[in-house]
Chain A
Amino acid sequence: MNHNKNIDRLFREKFRDFEQEPPPYIWDNIQARLDGKRKRRMTPWWWASAVAAGLTLLIGINYYRSVPDTAPVRPVVTGEQLPVSPVARRDMNKSSLSPGISDKISTPGQPSTTRSIARKPTHSLIPVSRYEDANITPDTRSTPRHIAMAVTYAEATPLENPLPGRYSSPDTISYPGFAFTTDDISAEAETLTTVEMPVSASADGQDSGEWAVSTLLSPTYMDYFNKGLSNIDPRFNDNEKHGIISRSYGVQVEYKPSGRLSFESGVIKADYAFATDNIYVSPTGRTPQYSGIIYDSGSHHIELNAVPNSSQEEGFSSSGEEYEGSIIQSFSYFEIPLSAKYALTEGNITLSAKGGVSTLLLDQNEVYVQTGYFTNKIGKSALNKLNFSANVGMELDSKIYNKVHLSVNPVIKFYSRTYMKAYPYNNPFSIGLYSGLKYKF
């Protein structure tokens, strides 16, 4: 080796003018991502629905404010009602309900009812001692407690097992039963009954508003309009993708000042799952790079490919094993919906149109690789912790017995900021049939 050459110089000279034409689809992908972003900025569904819901709320509030008072204002009533606000708020905090609920509850400016009086700010001037004095008035309190409908959750945490059984046979999802019991009242139900308390306390027949609480359960299906854009990585753009039927459940409170307009809010636990199929999975020494997955640190290196046996260079595949499987993205939110509803018909069976917005707080978030041989959790999807949706739907409400109604709500939701900024610009929608029992006070 007499004619040795410095290795730095060798590489530097070779690579000085190194250029290589990238494959043509790179620009297409960049363009799609830029387009997706621009589209997201305008998202017509989102804005249209949000504006519609906002307008409906405003019009509704104004309308009911303008209705002249017909009932005498009873200032002393507050002895019973004053506790409500603090209690309700305290309980709401405890059960981590968002401001959405308290807004909702305090929003309607229904003038003639005692319950609205309790919420008028002037009454907050009344000394707190009143609250203590009036603290528990068993008669008025006990009523709504007994009324509370508790959901018996068949599976409280369905997302923990998004795997074979659930995935392959989504129609096996069972519907929890409903029970009228005070024993296993859920935290949410408890909260809502407390919130309801003033209503029944003041239900002396002179108010025109109606309150109702309901349970909700729904099979939900999430999907994407643009199936040509993978939410995991561009290399999976052409793979088969589909939602997996999951479920949502929760409780809801409804207030109808009078007439045909009413307002709803509540808490929903919403589960979603999405599959990308025909993935080739192989163990690898590499560190996989996918834009839409945040790998668990220390998780096994598992390489995912859209085509079999791609780029297994010598020495870099720890073995020749390769399995066909799917990537399952599974996640859940605590959803706080706020919506306005307008009754199109009246009577024992009521059909209403409704629209609104939801605030969603990310709860569980997992990504699995699933093959015929194994299932591995590899990380999580690049999801935002806070998401919003615009919701449009109908309600079919039919009276079953006395004050108990059956409520069926087909709703479609358009999400606005599901994924983290970087990638991908593909927002999902979901459809659900939210059904449950409603108790009208």
Chain B
Amino acid sequence: MGLDELIKACKRNDRRAQERIYKMYASKMYALCLKYSRSKEEAEDNLQDGFITVFEKIDQFGFKGSFEGWIKRIMINTALQKYRERNVLNLVREEDISGMVEVDEQATSLPLDYLLDKIQHLPNQYRLVFNLYVLDGYSHKEVARMLGISEGTSKSNLSRARNLLRKRIEEDMTGNQSIAFE
């Protein structure tokens, strides 16, 4: 059964087709949820809620664009929705936007789990902006619209996020020898 047939079967609420779709995308989407969330638990919640939405709204998928891209947008929206609903996006100070933030070349060998942990520990809004802009390629204009903030705030948040990440990574690299380098 091809992807299109699977999607059509999902539209008929075929449980086995839904499971196959889930299995196809679960790993990628769980990874995405992990990046946008503060904890494993929150990521799991978002993954569940996101897939429920996918199966509820699958009728609206018109086979025009990439199905994976469609699912990904739902997952990102699910993650953002929680913060929008609860209005907990931290207000952050507008700051000078420094240009490139660079880290020691050694950082390249840092394990992914470690970097994920650093992302998850960013303040909510920094984390969301960093993910949207850097990892998922949205423009500041789009980020601003998605988060209901100004473009300027998006830029300054990104800058703060980069600086925080660099600072924390470098602190760990100089002060703590226990980090496992690959």
Q: State the A residues within 8 Å of B (CB).
A: 1, 3-8, 10-15, 18-23, 26-27, 29-31, 33-34, 38, 233-235, 286-287, 289, 291, 295, 297, 310-311, 313, 315-316, 422-423
Contacts of A287 in B (CB 8 A): 83, 86, 88, 124
Contacts of B83 in A (CB 8 A): 287
Instruction: Determine the residue in chain A with the shortest Cβ distance to B114.
Output: A14
Contacts of B124 in A (CB 8 A): 287
Q: Assuming the A-B contacts A11-B135, A15-B35, A30-B22, are A22 and B102 also in contact, with contact meaning beta carbons closer than 8 angstroms in the complex? A: no
Are A6 and B31 in contact, with the CB atoms below 8 A?
no
Are A19 and B102 in contact, with the CB atoms below 8 A?
no
Report the minimum CB–CB distance from A372 to chain B (whole Å): 25
Q: Assuming the A-B contacts A26-B47, A34-B52, are A14 and B104 also in contact, with contact meaning beta carbons closer than 8 angstroms in the complex? A: no
List 10 A-B pairs, minimum CB-CB distance, nearest first.
Answer: A3-B105, A4-B102, A22-B30, A19-B27, A18-B31, A287-B88, A20-B31, A7-B101, A8-B134, A19-B31
| Contact segment of B1-9, B12-20, B141-149 | B12-20
Q: Assuming the A-B contacts A19-B31, A34-B15, A291-B45, are A3 and B112 also in contact, with contact meaning beta carbons closer than 8 angstroms in the complex? A: no
Interface centre among A5, A23, A235, A423 (most CB of B within 10 A): A5
Are B134 and A11 in contact, with the CB atoms below 8 A?
yes
Instruction: Determine the residue in chain B with the shortest Cβ distance to A15.
Output: B135
Are A14 and B40 in contact, with the CB atoms below 8 A?
no
In the complex, whether B91 has a CB less than 8 A from a CB of chain A is: no
Are A26 and B48 in contact, with the CB atoms below 8 A?
yes
In the complex, whether B28 has a CB less than 8 A from a CB of chain A is: yes
Instruction: Determine the residue in chain A with the shortest Cβ distance to B38.
Output: A286
Instruction: Determine the residue in chain A with the shortest Cβ distance to B104.
Output: A1
Are B22 and A27 in contact, with the CB atoms below 8 A?
yes
Complex Cα spacing A27 to B27, Å: 12
Contacts of B47 in A (CB 8 A): 22, 26
Complex Cα spacing A20 to B30, Å: 6
Q: Assuming the A-B contacts A14-B115, A22-B44, are A291 and B107 also in contact, with contact meaning beta carbons closer than 8 angstroms in the complex? A: no
Are A27 and B19 in contact, with the CB atoms below 8 A?
yes
Choose one: A27, A34, A311; the contact of B26 (CB below 8 Å): A27
Complex Cα spacing A310 to B15, Å: 33
Contacts of B105 in A (CB 8 A): 3-5
Q: State the B residues within 8 Å of A (CB).
A: 13, 15, 18-19, 22-23, 26-28, 30-31, 34-35, 38-42, 44-45, 47-49, 51-52, 55, 82-83, 86-88, 100-108, 110, 112, 115-116, 119, 121, 124, 130, 134-135, 162, 165-166
Q: Assuming the A-B contacts A6-B100, A22-B47, are A311 and B15 also in contact, with contact meaning beta carbons closer than 8 angstroms in the complex? A: no
Are A10 and B44 in contact, with the CB atoms below 8 A?
no
Choose one: A1, A21, A310, A313; the contact of B30 (CB below 8 Å): A21
Q: List 8 A-B contacts (CB under 8 A).
A: A6-B102, A8-B162, A20-B30, A21-B26, A22-B44, A234-B45, A289-B42, A423-B49
Q: Assuming the A-B contacts A7-B162, A10-B107, are A31 and B15 also in contact, with contact meaning beta carbons closer than 8 angstroms in the complex? A: yes
Are B86 and A33 in contact, with the CB atoms below 8 A?
no
Are A4 and B104 in contact, with the CB atoms below 8 A?
yes
Are A33 and B48 in contact, with the CB atoms below 8 A?
yes
Complex Cα spacing A286 to B44, Å: 16
Are A297 and B87 in contact, with the CB atoms below 8 A?
yes
Complex Cα spacing A19 to B32, Å: 8
Report the minimum CB–CB distance from A194 to chain B (whole Å): 45
Report the minimum CB–CB distance from B152 to chain A (whole Å): 19
Instruction: Determine the residue in chain A with the shortest Cβ distance to B35.
Output: A15
Instruction: Determine the residue in chain A with the shortest Cβ distance to B25.
Output: A19
Contacts of A289 in B (CB 8 A): 41-42, 45, 82
Choose one: B26, B102, B115; the contact of A26 (CB below 8 Å): B26
Complex Cα spacing A4 to B162, Å: 14
Contacts of A235 in B (CB 8 A): 41
Other CB < 8 Å A-B pairs besides A12-B134, A27-B26, A234-B45, 18 of them?
A: A4-B102, A4-B104, A5-B107, A7-B102, A8-B162, A10-B103, A10-B108, A11-B134, A18-B112, A18-B116, A20-B30, A22-B30, A30-B51, A31-B19, A34-B15, A286-B39, A287-B124, A313-B39
Contacts of A316 in B (CB 8 A): 121
Interface centre among B103, B124, B162 (most CB of A within 10 A): B103
Report the minimum CB–CB distance from A156 to chain B (whole Å): 33
Report the minimum CB–CB distance from B176 to chain A (whole Å): 12
Are A295 and B86 in contact, with the CB atoms below 8 A?
yes
Interface centre among A8, A22, A287 (most CB of B within 10 A): A22
Complex Cα spacing A4 to B106, Å: 9
Contacts of B49 in A (CB 8 A): 291, 422-423
Are A311 and B87 in contact, with the CB atoms below 8 A?
no
Are A34 and B134 in contact, with the CB atoms below 8 A?
no
Report the minimum CB–CB distance from B84 to chain A (whole Å): 12
Report the minimum CB–CB distance from A106 to chain B (whole Å): 41
Complex Cα spacing A313 to B52, Å: 29
Report the minimum CB–CB distance from B163 to chain A (whole Å): 9
Report the minimum CB–CB distance from B21 to chain A (whole Å): 11
Q: Assuming the A-B contacts A14-B112, A21-B30, A422-B49, are A311 and B162 also in contact, with contact meaning beta carbons closer than 8 angstroms in the complex? A: no
Are B102 and A5 in contact, with the CB atoms below 8 A?
yes
Are B39 and A311 in contact, with the CB atoms below 8 A?
yes
Instruction: Determine the residue in chain A with the shortest Cβ distance to B30.
Output: A22
Choose one: B26, B103, B116, B130; the contact of A5 (CB below 8 Å): B103
Complex Cα spacing A13 to B110, Å: 12
Instruction: Determine the residue in chain A with the shortest Cβ distance to B101.
Output: A7
